Structure 1
Amino acid sequence: MSRIILVRHGQASWGKKDYDKLSDLGHEQAKVVGRELAERGIVPTRVISGSMRRQRDTAADVVAGAGWEIEPATDSAWNEYGHAAILTAYKPAYRSLTLMKADLARTLRPHKAFDEMYAVATERWVAGEHAEEYDEPFADFGERVLSGLPPVEENLGRGETVVVVSSAGAISWVAASLLGGGAPVWTQLQRVIANASLTTLSVGATGPTLRTFNDTSHLERTPDLLTTR
C-alpha cells in the first residue's frame, strides 16, 4: 500500500510581526519529525511542501533530521489560508496590529479574547455569505487544497511514500473531506492539530483513505515539543 504523510509545519512565530517564520522550537520539532520517520524506516520518494516560508523551512529540517538525500519540491496548493485576511475582513480596524493588541489587552485575558474573536471571524469566512470580501473564499480554499492531492497520487508508485509539509487548515480540510464531514468537521479538526504532527493517508486503487490524524507520539516523549501554535 502506498501512502502520503502530511506533516504540519513546526511552531511559527505566533504574535510576532512575521508569523511566517519558524521559532527555534519549530525548527527542533521539524528535525524530530525527520528523525522519527527515519527510525520508522521511511525513505520517501519525494518531499513536497507549500510555498510558505514556515512550510519550506520545516521540509528542509525534516529532510536534515532524517538524513535523506532529497531536495524538497514546492506546490502552492498546499499553502495555508490567509489568517490575517480573515480577521481583517471581520474587523477592518485590526489592519493595525497595534490597535488590536491594545483592544485585547484591555480585556485582561488577551489570549482567550483573541481565540474567541478569531473563531467568529473564521465562522464568517466559512459560511460564505460574504465571499466577495475575501481574496480566497472558503470554497476556493478547499478546492485549491484538494487540487494538490491528484499530482501526488498520480506519481505514487506501489509501496512508495511521499511526505507533504503543509499547515493546520489545509491538512484538516483533506482529513475532513476524506471523512465526508465538510466544514463542521474541518472546524473541529483544525482546532486540535498540533505543530509537527503526522497525518497519514493510504492510497489504493480507489484513492486515498485517512489512516491516522494528528499523530504526536514522536513529540510526547519531550512534552515541551508539543504545541498547537
Structure 2
Amino acid sequence: MVELIVIRHAQASFGADDYDVLSELGHAQSRALGQALAAQGVKPDALWIGEQRRHRETLEGVAEGLGLDAATAQVHPGLNEFDFHGLLEARYRGRDRPENLHTDRTTHFRILRETVLEWQQGKIADPPEPWSDFTARIRAARAAMLEGAGQVLAVSSGGAIGRMVAETVEAPEEQMVHLQLQIKNCAVSRFIAGRSRLYLTGFNETPHIGAATAHLLTYS
C-alpha cells in the first residue's frame, strides 16, 4: 500500500518578474508545514518534486522541518504546473489582454478560470500543451510515485493537484480549476492506493495554520 501526500508549493512571488521564486512568507510556510507534519508522525519513504524552482524551494523548507535531505527527491515533469502564460498568449493572440491581468488578483484568477475552461473545451488554438497531454503527464507522475511502497511525499502546483484530485473522485473535467482555486499555499492533499484504485483521504489540509499562525494562510 502507498500513502501519497501531495503538497502545493508555498507562496510564490505574485506580480514579480519571476513568479517561480518563493516569497519570504513562502519559506516560512514551508518550514512550518514540515514541523507540523513531523508532529503528525509523517516519515516519507520517498520524496518527489516537479521541475519548477518553487517546488524545490518548498520541499527544502518542508524537509528541514522533517529532518530529511531534500536533495534525495526524484523529479518528474508530470508534477509541473501548466503554462498559464503560454495559454494566455494563445488565447489572446492578435488581440489585447485584459488590463491588470498580472497585478490585480481578482482579474488574474477570473481570467485563469475562463482560460482553463476554454483550454479543456478545445477552444484555444495552438496551446503550449494540449489538455490531453496535461492529463496524461499527471497520470504518469501519479503512476511513478505509486510504484513503490510506504509513504510518499511530493510537492507540485495547484493545477496539477486539482487535476489529480478531480480524476481520483471521478469529477467532471471542469471541476479541476474550481478545485485548483481553492488550494492554499502549502496545503496538503492525501491519497491511499488500494488494490485497484486510488482514494482521496484528505484535501487542502493546513496542519501548520492555527490561531497563532493565521498569517501563514495565502492562496497565491
TM-score (norm 1): 0.87
- CA deviations 1:65-84 (Å, max 9, x no partner) are 21124522211111110111
Corresponding residue number in structure 2 for 1:138: 131
Corresponding residue number in structure 2 for 1:190: 180
1:114 to 108, 122, 131: 108
Q: Do the aligned partners of residues 125 and 204 (structure 1) sit closer, same or farther apart at CA in structure 2, a change above 3 Å counting?
A: same
- CA deviations 1:111-139 (Å, max 9, x no partner) are 32333333222221121133x41120112
Query: Per-residue deviation at 1:197?
Result: 0.3
Q: Do the aligned partners of residues 44 and 111 (structure 1) sit closer, same or farther apart at CA in structure 2, a change above 3 Å counting?
A: closer
Corresponding residue number in structure 2 for 1:228: 219
**How many aligned positions are there?**
217
Q: Is the 8 A contact 1:8 1:194 kept in 2?
A: yes
- CA deviations 1:61-104 (Å, max 9, x no partner) are 1111211245222111111101111122122368xxxx868x33
Structure with bigger helix share is 1
How many percent identity over aligned positions? 29
- Give the alignment's Cα RMSD to 1 decimal: 2.1
Q: Computing the radius of gyration over CA atoms, which structure comes out larger, 1 or 2?
A: 1
Q: Is the 8 A contact 2:30 2:59 kept in 1?
A: yes
- CA deviations 1:21-76 (Å, max 9, x no partner) are 11111111111111111111111111110010001111111111211245222111
Alignment of 1:73-88 (within 5 A): 73-88=74-89
CA distance in 2, matches of 1:9, 1:195: 6
Q: Do the aligned partners of residues 151 and 166 (structure 1) sit closer, same or farther apart at CA in structure 2, a change above 3 Å counting?
A: same
Can you give the 5+ residue segments of structure 1 that lack an aligned partner in the other structure? none
Can you give the 5+ residue segments of structure 2 that lack an aligned partner in the other structure? none
CA distance in 2, matches of 1:14, 1:115: 12
Corresponding residue number in structure 2 for 1:18: 18
Corresponding residue number in structure 1 for 2:119: 125
Alignment of 1:38-117 (within 5 A): 38-69=38-69, 71-92=72-93, 103-104=99-100, 110-117=104-111
Corresponding residue number in structure 2 for 1:151: 144
Query: Per-residue deviation at 1:140?
Result: 1.1
Stretches of 4+ aligned residues off by more than 6 angstroms: none
CA distance in 2, matches of 1:117, 1:77: 24
TM-score (norm 2): 0.91
